[in-house]
Amino acid sequence: MELQAVLMAAGGGSRMTDLTYSTPKPMLPVGNKPLMWYPLNLLERVGFEEVIVITTKEVQKMMSTDPKMKPDVKMKMEVVCVPEDGDMGTADALRHIQQKVKTDILVVSCDLITDVALHEVVDLFRAHNATLAMLMSKAYEFTETVPGQKGKKRTAEQRDFVGVDQSGKRLLFMANEADLEDGLSVRKSIIRKHPRMHIKTGLVDAHLYCLKKAVVDFLTENKSISSIRGELVPYLVRKQFSNAVNSQKVKEDSEDQTQKNNESSTNHELLISSRDESLLQLAQERSCWNDHRGDMSEAYHGGKLRCYVHIMDQGLCYRVNTLAAYIEANRQAPKLFEEPPVHSSAAISERCQVGSDSVIGAQCQIADKASIKRSTIGVSSTVKERVKVTNSIVMHGVTIEEGCNIQGSVICSNAIIGRGADLKYCLVGNGQRIEPEAERTNEVIVGTDQLMEI
């Protein structure tokens, strides 16, 4: 592949701490596979043979020592651990691997669940010689009741305003609602080139980006940018229509530290250009296509910095960064792999009921008269007699004693649910023990050391 693949797998899962307290987000089981398996599988399916995985030492250790946590992929994974001290953003992580980046890159987040045709994004990047091509989708509506949050008012997400040209592909404008206190204003330089612009809301950034290698080089020179989504992407989109200066001036400016600081706004745009820019310019001048005015006109007559977006109108595309998204991901997971939903090593009684919409992991034991419907049962978990599990996620190594009723709940790894317990819309933390005959509804049950200090 002419692109290098980079997987971002160092995030802490700050919006789902009840789950990530004891299990790092990339390792959370989704359909009994680590969450990071899904973007890795996406890359592998389209032909990538190697990937740089940026992660933590904790995740690296789990991948190497725990068989059920190792992503089942054939591609070569070069694992790069980020420093443990300090809060490193996604742009910081790219800066950390700059020496390993030899060509343009495709960056994807470890929490992306999608069935996108990846070539749609890559083709935009190639065809338009783009600086950035990214994936966005319509905001996904999560309808399931979230354990521990029933009846609570959901915090409204701040909207993004995304401006595209008439083709719906060229990304012209991007701003978050939080940054628009004085209203939405569009620069004249954009309107001059694109007098008709469509402003879209209700879109979500999938955190999948094709980026020129020069952008990574640019980041090494501009350490103030920490986040791809929050800072780099808006910066690139905004800089498309800045006034350009000639390459020689940029070279001179870069040699003069004072002048470089004074004129940083113009330097940055042009530093993000190919090192072969002069050859590309010559090729375009002599090309029989150099007067082309169709959908490729921007590559010949546009600025050097171009941003594009592929917007998914249909299909599966969302990030697993909240508890609601995690629950939905487990519902959708069986659609994204071809393996049978019930593992061949699971011991399942002939006198139990397992719905076709359930996933049963390796070395599970399902006893007589148990009923499993629309649920996921993790590796090495035990479900004893007369247990009913409905609409729930049971992680690895869980024991559910006789006669329990589990509905709409998430049971984290190594928990023990006592005999006859009745749990509805609860989240049970890692290693927790629920007493026999307990009746719990709409609760988050975690250890005292897991509670967040205020």
- Quote the tokens at residue 439: 């009746």
- Is residue 27 classed as helix, strand or coil in its secondary structure? helix
Strand-pairing partners, residue 440, are: 423
R_g of the chain, CA atoms, integer Å: 25
Q: How would you classify the pairing of strands 422-424 and 439-441?
A: parallel
Rounded distance, CA 36 to CA 29, Å? 9
Element counts in the chain: helices (H) and strands (E): 14, 32
Strands (E), 247-341: 307-312, 317-319
Query: Tokens 């609570």 belong to which residue?
Result: 152
Whether the CA torsion 424, 429, 431, 436 is positive or negative: it is negative
Q: What is the dihedral of CA 400, 403, 409, 412, to 10 degrees?
A: -10
Average pLDDT, the chain: 85
**pLDDT(123) > 50:** yes
d(CA 293, CA 176): 33
Q: What is the arithmetic mean of pLDDT over 150-154?
A: 60
- Tell me which residue has tokens 């007369």: 386
Instruction: Give residue 295's identity as a one-letter amino acid code.
Output: D
Residue 150 CA: distances (Å) to CA of 18, 171, 443: 16, 38, 9
Residue 305 burial (CB count, 10 A): 24
pLDDT of residue 151: 59
Q: How confident is the model at residue 277 (pLDDT cuts 50, 70, 90)?
A: low
- Among 327, 419, 316, 318, residue whose Cα is nearest residue 367: 419
Lowest average pLDDT, out of 26-30, 226-230, 281-285, 372-376, goes to 281-285
Segment 392-448, tens digit of pLDDT: 999 999 999 999 999 999 999 999 999 999 999 999 999 999 999 999 999 999 876
Check pLDDT > 50 for residue 266. no
Distance CA 204, CA 142 (A): 14
Specify the pTM. 0.86
pLDDT at 265: 40
Cβ-contact 12, 58 below 8 angstroms: no
The predicted model gives 353-377 an average pLDDT of 95
How far does CA 404 lie from the centroid of its chain? 35
For the chain, the first-to-last Cα distance in angstroms comes to: 48
| Segment 171-197, tens digit of pLDDT | 999 988 877 777 788 888 888 889 999
pLDDT-derived band at 47, boundaries 50, 70, 90? very high
Strand partners, 287: none
Q: Judge contact between 306 and 129, C-beta under 8 A.
A: yes
**Structure-token pair, residue 222:** 């501009």
